[in-house]
Chain A
Amino acid sequence: MRKGMLFGVCILVGVMAFSTGWAKEPTIKIGINAPITGDIPKVGEGTKFAAQLWLEDVKAAGGIAVGKKKYPVELVIEDNESKAESAVKVTTKMITEDDILVMVGPQASKQAVPAAGIANNYKTPMITPWSTNPDSTKDKPYVFRACFLDPFQGPVVANFISNEFKFKKAAVLYDVASDYPKGLAEFFKKAWEDTHGKGSVVAYESFTTKDTDFSSQLTKIINSGAQVLFTPQYYNEVALIVQQAHQLGWKKPIVGSDSWGSAETVKLCGKDCYGAFFSTHYAAAGATGDTKKFIDRYKAKHGYVPDDVAALTWDAMMLVQKAIQGTGGLTGDLKKDRDNVRTALSQVKKFKGITGEMTFAGKNDPSKCAVIVKISDTGEFTFYKSVCP
């Protein structure tokens, strides 16, 4: 018994002698708050892969050069299970335990809103790449986002349809129980009725998450005499809606929003989605320059074309890098450094990201352009038009 214990202590001390002495040099820690398990694991995967790709670049460059010094970078990747309470726990943990300088994520608004409250309380800068809910950054000076907002996207789509097709009557089909489709449907309706007058949205139909049969709503829409159908849904519902609409005899255009921009959309939907339009952050097919470089690298490494979450996360990481470099030098005092990074972030102007040019200029939401994408006859997302604020 005694001997065993002595032996154990010896091993302990021996191993400790090897493992001590790490983390002595100042490291920049960046938190990644991603939904790796739970409802939307694909989003978490894209986030993680994009962040790791960025880390590779930074490591190859020997760290981030701030002022005259180069700092090594460490990513703290945590899983928020796509739950609000876990996102809050993870955020608190990263900020108080892991001493991160900046946090990237969470992606979905239902985690981003509470996490943003925590980050703001601890005065830690946070960038959410994908959350389009206005509440995420509202009254929170430390919280930024890398995408445009729903109040911008709704009018973009409405104006695109009005100008492109000269239609006067639109129908909307959306999920009433999910915040993103609901918000976007409302903004679209408002923008459409502002141009075409009251009652020009002739059918405004809703369903609830996980519904799979939309025939009654679609029949109503077809009978309403609408010229176009707008449905801001996620990829799994898009496939069902579009296919069922075609089966019921709908031949007019169908338009979607950035939630369509997943590789799965075409896979599930097949030929039915060819020719449809949606607004999004970037178009993968026919991309040029840095965007193409990113897509090619990602595809080579993980075997599929990155969706908009991955692209936005990449941009968020680049924004972080730019902001850290923009501080002109780290003081070593985490509190001051976080403040400095926040200030630097808010002053970012004309940042060339792979999802377009971003300018914060004192605000927490970037002003950036939206892209209208057409699904080509081979199922690729091709660039159609760019709409700027």
Chain B
Amino acid sequence: MPPPAPISRTFRARCSRVPLLGWLSGALAAVVLERFVGTPLALAVGLPKIPALFGIDIMLKKPLLIPNAVLYTVLIYLLPIAAVALSTAFLTNRLAGGLMKLPVAVPVAVHLGLLYAALHFWADVSDYRSLVLKLTMIAIMLTLSLNVINGYMGEFSCSHPGFMALGAYCASVVTVGLFVDGNYFGIALLPGETGPFLFPIDLVAGGLLAAFGALFVAIPSFRTRGDYLAIISLAFLFIVKSLIENFEFVRGPRGMSGQPDLAGLPTVFSWAVLCVWSINNFVRSTVGKAMNAVRDNEMAAEAMTVDTRRTKIVAFLFAAFWAGVAGGLFAHVLRYVNPGTFGIQNLAEVLAMVYFGGLNSVYGSIVGAVSISLLGEALRPLEIFKWIIIPLLLILVMIYRPTGLIAFKDLEVATLLRPKQGPDGER
């Protein structure tokens, strides 16, 4: 009889047999549990209320409460997730297997539905969570769209906050003009109820304006690369910023406020999903491969009949479009925009997310955006030390993984969703 394997290894082996469906169900169970018994449990373990971001904030502010916060996180998240995911592994594997036999849209919709439900219940506990979640999803959109240019096409573009500003201002001008009294048309032209229906069109318009602006960077990129393109794109960013500062009809440096409250969690979530889906398809299409060819060797690509100019234009326009949409959402989440927001600091943040997460990878962008956003939020009580810890992490990543945490990895939906164990028990 062979000796029993160590607990940790069997545990890991069992975990590896849980499909994504199982983990999502576990997460859903945990957040539903928190929704209903979170407050009494928090009080029971000695916390004043449900910790907002896994208790990190409480731990940093009141180190004495660290064990309580850890205990809460373990009890409400880790244990239920592990319990549900492991105990239902057999069932979820069968279910995932069954779903995969249907058209791919069905399992994707089921998974997304579960994910949204989990996020919804999690954010339901406090508005602060919901705000952080929305801004994180916007960060994902921005990071992904910048990764298209900086990662997949290998150009160093610095104009992303500019595209975002164009989208944000275009979307704001439309909604503020149409739905808020006392602005461009004197009275609100349309009743507020039509807002949610017009909002997608409004965001697309913002995206299109950003894409138009991208032409001014894309065309010079035919002849310049590397540092020179970086400088041109930086110049574009400054042009956009000073244009807005000098336009009185968007209130100049004072910023525009009073955007109607249109960007709820479902709206932002759907746009983020749409963005991930379309960018993932884009980078795996022929254009995506052409972008990689341009990155690796532009002349060789040209010789291999890749139309480099068309590739560059399409990539820039596409990336700028999504940056513009993200900007429009950003303006409506904050309900205030200011040209100062779209400056070098914003650029540095998005670049950090791209390079931290990983170049040329959809996974990487998601990981980078989520980790930098959440870290930035959770470490806020450290004040100035936060700005030492995050850059330090970035330096460490650059030393040990020069292309980022998860670089050069395709997001293959079918692999992600497939069952991890066949019906007979083999993998």
**A contact set with B: CB distance below 8 Å:** 1, 11-12, 15-16, 18-23, 36-37, 41, 78-79, 83-86, 88-90, 92-93, 96-97, 99, 109-110, 113-114, 117, 133, 135, 176-179, 182-183, 208
Residue numbers in B under 8 Å from A96 (CB-CB): 126-128
Residue numbers in B under 8 Å from A21 (CB-CB): 46
The number of residue pairs between A and B whose CB atoms lie closer than 8 Å in the complex comes to 113
Given contacts A19-B46, A96-B127, A176-B246, contact A114 B254 (CB under 8 A): no
Given contacts A79-B383, A92-B127, A133-B254, contact A177 B336 (CB under 8 A): no
Residue numbers in B under 8 Å from A20 (CB-CB): 45-46, 68
Q: Are B340 and A85 in touch, CB under 8 angstroms?
A: no
Chain A residue at minimum C-beta to C-beta distance from B341? A84
Residue numbers in B under 8 Å from A208 (CB-CB): 242, 245
Q: State the CA gap A16–B131 with chains docked (Å).
A: 31
10 smallest CB-CB distances across A and B, nearest first, come from A20-B46, A114-B336, A179-B253, A179-B254, A177-B245, A12-B67, A15-B67, A93-B128, A19-B64, A96-B127
**B contact set with A: CB distance below 8 Å:** 6-8, 45-46, 48-49, 52, 64-65, 67-68, 70-71, 126-128, 131-132, 135, 241-242, 245-246, 252-255, 257-258, 330, 334-336, 338-341, 345, 377, 380-381, 383-384, 386-387
Residue numbers in B under 8 Å from A88 (CB-CB): 131, 334, 336
Distance in angstroms from B266 CB to nearest chain A CB is 19
Q: State the CA gap A20–B46 with chains docked (Å).
A: 5
Residue numbers in A under 8 Å from B126 (CB-CB): 96-97
Distance in angstroms from B198 CB to nearest chain A CB is 22
Given contacts A12-B71, A21-B46, contact A177 B242 (CB under 8 A): yes
6 intermolecular pairs with C-beta atoms under 8 Å apart: A16-B67, A20-B46, A20-B68, A84-B340, A113-B255, A135-B257
Q: State the CA gap A93–B129 with chains docked (Å).
A: 8
Residue numbers in A under 8 Å from B330 (CB-CB): 85
Distance in angstroms from A288 CB to nearest chain B CB is 35
Residue numbers in B under 8 Å from A109 (CB-CB): 254
Q: State the CA gap A86–B141 with chains docked (Å).
A: 19
Residue numbers in A under 8 Å from B339 (CB-CB): 177
Q: State the CA gap A299–B189 with chains docked (Å).
A: 56
Residue numbers in A under 8 Å from B258 (CB-CB): 117
Given contacts A78-B380, A135-B257, A177-B242, contact A19 B68 (CB under 8 A): yes
Q: State the CA gap A221–B26 with chains docked (Å).
A: 70
Most chain B Cβ neighbours within 10 Å, of A1, A18, A36, A179: A179
Distance in angstroms from B358 CB to nearest chain A CB is 25
Q: Are B380 and A84 in touch, CB under 8 angstroms?
A: no
Q: State the CA gap A367–B66 with chains docked (Å).
A: 47
Q: State the CA gap A93–B56 with chains docked (Å).
A: 14
Q: State the CA gap A15–B68 with chains docked (Å).
A: 8
Chain A residue at minimum C-beta to C-beta distance from B330? A85
Distance in angstroms from B349 CB to nearest chain A CB is 10
4 more contacts with CB within 8 A, not counting A85-B330, A93-B52, A178-B253, are A1-B6, A20-B46, A85-B341, A99-B49
Residue numbers in B under 8 Å from A78 (CB-CB): 380-381
